[in-house]
Amino acid sequence: MLSHTKRFKQHPQAVVTDLDGDVALFQSSNCDYLVLNDSGSAIWNALTTQPTLVELCAVLQEEYNVRPDDCLSDVEAWLEIGLEKQVVIAFESK
């Protein structure tokens, strides 16, 4: 489970490209990639503000019809994959 005090941002070395209409992320340091759907792309774009998990869910709930508990678990799972693939960075709020 991710800490609610952590903030998340796009990894500066993640390469972003359009792949037949989908957003694809590539991390050259480990040759790993992640293809995003619409909600994944919304999360990726929201990472520019370096949000917390709760702040990310607030953004998604404005755009999608999703229950708060479902949003938290789904976004947390997405972030864990992003961290594993090294396209997302987690850091503590100051």
Q: What is the mean pLDDT of each run of 10 residues along the chain (94 residues)?
A: 87 91 89 91 95 95 92 95 95 83
Phi, psi at residue 91, to the nearest 5°?
Answer: -150, 160
The predicted pLDDT at position 93 comes to: 78
The predicted pLDDT at position 68 comes to: 92
Helices (H) then strands (E): counts for the chain: 3, 5
Instruction: Report yes or no: 4 and 52 within 8 Å, Cβ to Cβ.
Output: yes
CB neighbour list of residue 3: distance below 8 Å, 6 or more residues apart: 92
What is d(CA 49, CA 26) in angstroms, rounded to the nearest whole number?
21
The predicted pLDDT at position 2 comes to: 77
Residue found under tokens 């850091």: 91
The predicted pLDDT at position 94 comes to: 67
